[in-house]
Chain A
Amino acid sequence: MKNAPGRSGLIMEEPLLWEKGKVGRNGMSIPDSDVPAAHLAEELCGPGPDFPDLSEVDVVRHYTRLSQWNFGVDTGMYPLGSCTMKYNPKINEKHAAAEEIGVAHPMLEDEYCQGTLRIIYELQNYLAAITGMDAVSVQPAAGAHGELAGMLVFAAYHESKGKKRTKILMPDTAHGTNPASAALCGYKPIPIKSGPRGILDVAQIRELMDEETAGIMITNPNTLGLFEENIREIAEIVHEKGGLVYGDGANMNAIMGIVDLKKCGVDVMHLNLHKTFSTPHGGGGPGAGPVCVVDSLAKFLPSPKVEFDGSQYRLESDRPESVGRMHAFHGNYAVLVRALCYILTMGAENLKKATQYAVLNACYIKVKLKNHLHLAYDRPCMHEAVFSDKRQQEFKVSTLDIAKRLMDSGYHPPTIYFPLVVHGAIMIEPTETESLEELDTFIEVVKEVVHEAEIDPDLLHNSPQRFKVKRLDETQAARNPCLRG
């Protein structure tokens, strides 16, 4: 591990919040009251929560120490497949945190908040331009929320045609959230097995698509990192039977400026702004999952929508065929601000370059590692490459062991055990913001881990060694859940 960045750590111990503090301390200045104490009926009152009292220093040090046990994109390469962990630009944080935006109340009259409305309006238009779709709502708060919005559009469309449909085609290479999103709208997912080349087989779609089926949910490129080459033909079959095509846009980073989703036959899709459009993932969120549709479905998009009459931006709520409101207000607004800043900084040319470099990086890793890790499908990949632990099994080393050893070398592991179609999957998505040197170091480290698997499997079984905690017992956590202190 001569060149690996992860060699030592500055790890401070830190107890749980309530294991420190003293009653009477406080970490926030509260002004003395300048009004008289009002009458308050005693029967309304509770004892107040059992929170520790901490000083500002206690709180700041606590979270600073916690942060040092974490690994983020700013720490190093985060090749987590399907998650597009690219660099999160700092200027976007500054603008999202602008005080003028912070104080914008979402229930203000339109005339008082033209600026915040304009951001939504412009983002809607830019996302339409990037995808090739016609109309956009930025209300959904995350990818799965966008999928739900899309499925609601499916349901509203079929209802408008006078017939409720009950099933939906669900390829085994679709994103994990898709079946649950469809089920929320009452659709029974009909599983579709990907063909021997890792992509969908037209004949199978033709056989299964019928007039009880609302349509298909396709992730393209799919979760194997492969472009669904037959998408147009599949879309035609689905459309012929009166169905709609949903495009899960979580992998949009592979196709910006290269693929026109409308030309592919996609009717509805969502984007993950926290993936393709560089907004930070925050250890789980907030994300944003705008939903994009073709013209004929625009009337079904969530309400309200932001419109512009040439001089004024306004919220339009009078949209009788809309699926309705998805979020109390306008979605994760500050995330939208970041994404807009990213698009404005990049422009068309650099967004396309981002895609080209993302694919270039993935293909480079694929070629360099395919003699070391088993490659699930040896075909031209897009923005990610899916390997597996097939060759390491003889040494009793699993994907999980490889992942944990990579951590000790200073890398966040790839996505593991997903997609489910590849046993022991190792899904690597480098993104475009990693340089050639960074990729080369990563590749060397993976090769070394593969070598260690052969000569010293226990080293991998006992990884990670360099973190605050050693390997954690997840089975025990689920068997005897302790969910609070």
Chain B
Amino acid sequence: MDLIELHNIRKTYHLGEVELPVLKGISMNIARGELVALMGVSGSGKSTLMNLLGCLDHPTSGEYWLEGREVSRLSARERARVRKQTIGFVFQSFNLLPRTSALENVMMPLTYSADHLSERQMRERAVALLDRIGLGDRAEHQPSQLSGGQQQRVAIARSLVNNPRLLLADEPTGNLDSRTSEELLKMFQDLNRTEGLTIILVTHDPGVAHHANRVIHIKDGLLEDAAPAAAGQQPSPPATSASA
């Protein structure tokens, strides 16, 4: 059973009288432990697809199986539960809480998910993650005192604090220079390889997509093809098919 199975997902926005179909029937599978790049130009529907994959939204029709569970018809509250148990998010603009230390930023998701942990356990877990991303000495720094790359690394630590099975990164290097981007992508690869974390990178930059095991192109709400990007780095066979 794959981590993610999409069956004929459609998403149509209603702008007044006009119906705007954004996703026109997407079916694909993503196995555990894959590092997938989701590529497409703006307006292609990749953000919409990412929102659906991240359980932030529900499709107009189709089925979305996440860890063997149909999640496309869940209520907002149940989706929130799925998010905090299964999914970590990394955003283009970092979205760190201002005037809040890196440590507290990393701990923030635990407020909603970790009722069973004590304050100290939460702190220990956050410190361990900050050490892991190499910012252990910056735990008390506020976002304004960190560089862009450091901020994004804090954001990655935050996304990992709930031990997610799926990491969704929306243009994670969009606001960073190329050298920092490279470091960050290395970190994603490392996480993927050592932890077996399934990562989906949403990007329009072929340079970023190059780091993935598999690239999924999306165009006008349909999957184009599913060619392996970097040859020889496939932990699992491509199980993607274009929609009918």
Chains A and B come from one and the same complex = no
